[in-house]
Structures are given as C-alpha cells and as structure tokens.
Structure 1
C-alpha cells in the first residue's frame, strides 16, 4: 500500500512538472524581468525594441552584446532614450 501511494505521488509530481514546463514554453510573456539603467555602448552589437503586445503590456528594449548575451534596458532611463534617438 505504501509503495502504491508513493508511486501515485511520484506520477502526480512528474505530471505537474511536465505541465509547468509545457505552459512556460508555449505561453509567451515579457522577456525582461530585470532591467539595467545603462550599459557601455562599445559592448552593444544589436538593439531590439518590443512594443507592448497582448501578452506583455510594457515596452521592452533588449540589447545583444558582442559576447552574445542579451541585456534588458530600462525604457524610461535617460541612457535608453538617448540610445534610441541615436539609432
């Protein structure tokens, strides 16, 4: 009886983990959780701006750095506003 309860509990945990993984992969959401006020412009390789969309109600400014990593910029910061005006 104990083995049966343990087996059912493990199956439930695996099922919940799979559901959580699937929903997080297929439901789009905002990319930027944390934002930076500024970043050295010499490190920036590319700039992307995502306007508000149905699944994310805020503007997102994402820079790809020369090392391939991505950083989110605060769209309200003076640095980001000046950077967008330059480009």
Structure 2
C-alpha cells in the first residue's frame, strides 16, 4: 500500500513536467515529407519557392490552394518541374520588361 502511494505521489509530481512532442512545429521547414506529385492547376491560388536558409536546409516548393490549404510539391515530379520552368520563364520576361522601361 505504501509503495502504491509513493508511486502515485511521484506521478502526480512529474505529470506537469511531461510534455508531448509538438507536432505542428517542424523547425522553419514547412515540408515534412517529399510532397504531392500533382495538384490541379485550377485549384492553385499562389505558388511559392522557398530557398535554402540557415533554419531550413532544403529548397521548398509550396502552393496555396483556393481553399486556403497549403501543400508542398515534390520537386522531382514532372508536374513540379514544368511549373518551375513556367514560373522562371515568366520571371525572366518580367525582368526583361523592367529593363526595357529603364
């Protein structure tokens, strides 16, 4: 009986100090896994390329859907490669236009 009381007392003392692992915090990296291979283009609202940084050692490609949900894209998929090419081409065209205006 005394040992049970001691164990219950120790559990009571230690319980407030025990914290589960925070599942929402992944450092500064948003993508925990390789990401989705394909997302319907008509559902994409915003496209982001997050470069490597000291807090996240990998480049991430993230899309925000019209529903507000954010998804990581698999950078090795043909779908993501195609979108990356298009975005880079548009950026190049815009920078050319800015140079012409100056």
Name the structure, 1 or 2, with higher relative contact order (CA <8 Å, separation 6+).
Answer: 1
Segments of 4+ in structure 1 off by > 3 A? none
1:7-45 Cα distance to aligned partner (Å, 9 max, x none): 2121332xxx18x55xx75x8331111301111111100
Q: How much is the aligned-residue C-alpha RMSD, in angstroms?
A: 2.2
TM-score, scaled to structure 1: 0.74
Distance 1:8 1:65 in 2: 46
Deviation at 1:86, TM superposition (A): 1.6
Distance 2:12 2:85 in 1: 60
Larger Rg: 2
Equivalent residues, number: 80
The correspondence for 1:7, drawn from 12, 23, 26, is: 12
Distance 2:11 2:79 in 1: 55
Q: Structure 1 stretches of 5 or more lacking a match? A: none
